[in-house]
Amino acid sequence: MRFKKYIEELKRRNVFKAAIAYLIMAWVVIQVSSIVLNGFGAPTYIFKIIVFVICIAFPFWLVFAWVYEITPEGLKKTPDIDQQVHELPQTKNRLNKVIIVSLSIVVIFLLINQSWSFFTKKNGNKKNDVAIEMTEKSIVVLPFLNLSNNKSQDYLAEGITDAINVELSKRDSVRVISRTSAMSYKDENKLLSDIAKELDVDYLLEGSILSDADSVRIMVQLIKSFPREKHIWSRSYKEKFENILQLVDRVSTEIADEITAVVQPNQLKAHKYRVDAKAYELYLRGRYLMNLETYKSVNSAIEYLNKSIKLDAGYAPAYATLSESYISLNKFYSKHDEKERNTKNARAAIDKAVLLDNTLGAAYIIKGKIAGKCDWNWEEMRKMAEIGLKLDPNNANGHMLLSNYYLVTNQFNKAIKEALLAEKLDPLNPMIGSLVADRYYLAHDYEKAISQYKKVLELFPNYGFAWEGLGYVQYFLGQKEEAINSWKMLQEIMGNESAAINFTYAGNAEQSFRLWLSKAKSKPLSYTSNPTVLAQVHMFLNEKNEALDYLEMAYEIHDDELPIMLQRPNFHELQKEPRFKDLVRKTGIILNK
């Protein structure tokens, strides 16, 4: 009975209605604050403070509602009001109005939000809609220093850096800068704040290794870069060589836990390995050499990886790296049978990797690369890329693979978006930056293409691929003199002095092309004069039949550049030609009409 009277008194004093009005207005304030603060790029702690204050103020509001009432004479304590005269209708009416107005604001807010979501989805395929969504928190794992007296242990420092990077990349709650961009800071004497600004990251992990005969010590420190540089923590770990994998997993897990309180787990749990210590060392050496990307280093990498597998045949990453090495080796061969042999070896190695570990995201991405480059099986390429990115969302190569799929299926807006995601993950990789520019070119956004190429060249003035691509866009737009200068720079960078001289003194574009063609055709086909490049030059000379001859030659030798090359604006005039249509059919691409 006493409880019922207490409830009745709460109703009489309008405490329930005051609580409802407060909660509705609090929700509105939180939603509006979230939008406004995000729009101004305010630090997240400001929003947290607002929510904290709203929560703390709620019980005080309830006490206020119990003690005071709003009357025509003003604010009075409830016990002072004549209860026989006043049933407190004024307060009830005022609270009713507050609740109605608040609910109206909520309905309007929800309608606007729903309409905006519908609008953005409906217009998501517009040409310039390439906004990218990335997780809020981000980190770069800087190249670890080798403090051992033996400098040949550099491969171990780099291998452990890569391993931690791979482990962190599996967390989709943090954006991890790719290896290529991170390694550009090796031996660089730069302020951490400058690195954080250049890569647009919140955290930096730096470390070092010190190895002796049978053990390795890892020293790491996590640094927050915003709003000011702050050391979060530092750790020192020491393990026997045979426990390196467990050590790496422990380090990366602690880092991830520090960066974000809740790490969203993948659907499949990460595979835990036990691997022979010597086999793991050989694997690290092989991966280090593969990343050097020279003919000699890739061949040496294959030797080390095969030795690693011979010692321990159960380590999936060794097979994945071996497959990647065989694919990389194809860049140095022009004969079809040699490429076929390398491709066969790559398939066998990657199938074994997936069999051993079906949670290894990089393995699926490599499978997708083989499906695209070697088989022109675009749907299989897409499928593998999507599986790989689900397991390893920070894999820049996976996003570029998916971008390639969208290119050959004529979905340019999505192709650009995926390429921009890859660039966000690997901002100092000139190849990815140039491929972003090339996608703008294929999508007929020529101004953005030129701007992107120039952005790459500001950072990497000797990157030949960017000069080559820039020249194609400039020539297509009729900027022939600028294009000739770009291609002259390309030839100088590649060491083709005679070709550079031709571009300088030939007098006009046509004469330059003819001199270049005579030189290119006098040698066996190579990277500098492959069929698709020769076809483009013939198109510049308006020699369509010759261009078609070289495109068909590219198909015969299975040039992996051909499918995307067929999309280039240079070849639009050929789209009605039966021979060109046949190439489109056989490669399985969808043309941009």
Q: What does the pLDDT read at residue 189? A: 81
Q: What does the pLDDT read at residue 256? A: 64
97 versus 189: the higher-pLDDT residue is: 189
My answer on whether 145 and 256 are in the same domain is yes
242 versus 414: the higher-pLDDT residue is: 414
Among the three residues 239, 265, 291, which one is the final residue of a domain in this structure?
265
The answer to the question of residue 174 being in a domain is yes
My answer on whether 230 and 331 are in the same domain is no
Of 46-60, 97-111, 463-477, 524-538, least confident by mean pLDDT is 97-111
The answer to the question of residue 378 being in a domain is no
| Residue 217 predicted with pLDDT over 90 | no
| Residue 8 predicted with pLDDT over 50 | yes
Of 265-269, 365-369, 540-544, least confident by mean pLDDT is 265-269
Find the distance separating the first CA and the last CA of the chain, reported in whole Å: 80
My answer on whether 251 and 176 are in the same domain is yes
Tell me, what DSSP letter sits at residue 271? P
Average pLDDT of span 368-383: 95
Q: What does the pLDDT read at residue 213? A: 72
| Residue 34 predicted with pLDDT over 70 | no
Average pLDDT of span 523-535: 69
212 versus 358: the higher-pLDDT residue is: 358
The answer to the question of residue 205 being in a domain is yes
Q: What does the pLDDT read at residue 563? A: 95
User: Are 232 and 223 spatial neighbours (Cβ–Cβ below 8 Å)?
Assistant: yes
Average pLDDT of span 402-428: 95
My answer on whether 285 and 255 are in the same domain is no
Distance from C-alpha of 168 to C-alpha of 394, rounded to nearest angstrom? 9
Quick: pLDDT tens for 563-581. Answer: 999 999 989 999 999 999 9
Q: How much of the chain, in percent, has pLDDT values that exceed 70?
A: 75
Distance from C-alpha of 16 to C-alpha of 7, rounded to nearest angstrom? 10
How many domains are there within the chain? Answer: 3
Q: What does the pLDDT read at residue 129? A: 42
Of 332-336, 498-502, 553-557, 578-582, least confident by mean pLDDT is 498-502
Report long-range pairs for 370-373 (Cβ below 8 Å, ≥24 apart). Answer: 370/323, 370/327, 370/343, 370/346, 372/401, 372/404, 372/405, 372/560, 373/327, 373/560
| Residue 118 predicted with pLDDT over 80 | no
| Residue 59 predicted with pLDDT over 90 | no
Q: What does the pLDDT read at residue 503? A: 58
List the beta strands (DSSP E) in 285-353.
Answer: none
Distance from C-alpha of 397 to C-alpha of 331, rounded to nearest angstrom? 17
Parent domain of 258: 138-265
Tell me, what DSSP letter sits at residue 377? -
Sequence-distant (≥ 6) Cβ neighbours of residue 123 within 8 angstroms? 129
- Answer positive or negative: Cα dihedral of 420, 422, 427, 433: negative
Q: pTM value?
A: 0.69
My answer on whether 25 and 99 are in the same domain is yes
Q: What does the pLDDT read at residue 36? A: 64
Cα 22 to chain centroid, rounded: 43
Q: What does the pLDDT read at residue 272? A: 59
Of 44-48, 358-362, 526-530, least confident by mean pLDDT is 526-530
My answer on whether 284 and 255 are in the same domain is no
Distance from C-alpha of 505 to C-alpha of 511, rounded to nearest angstrom? 9
My answer on whether 32 and 117 are in the same domain is yes
My answer on whether 54 and 118 are in the same domain is yes
For residue 152, give the CATH number of its domain. Answer: 3.40.50.10070
The answer to the question of residue 118 being in a domain is yes
Dihedral class, residue 444 (left if φ above 0, else alpha if ψ from -120 to 50, else beta): left
My answer on whether 144 and 243 are in the same domain is yes
Cα atoms in the 13 Å half-sphere on the side-chain side of 61: 17
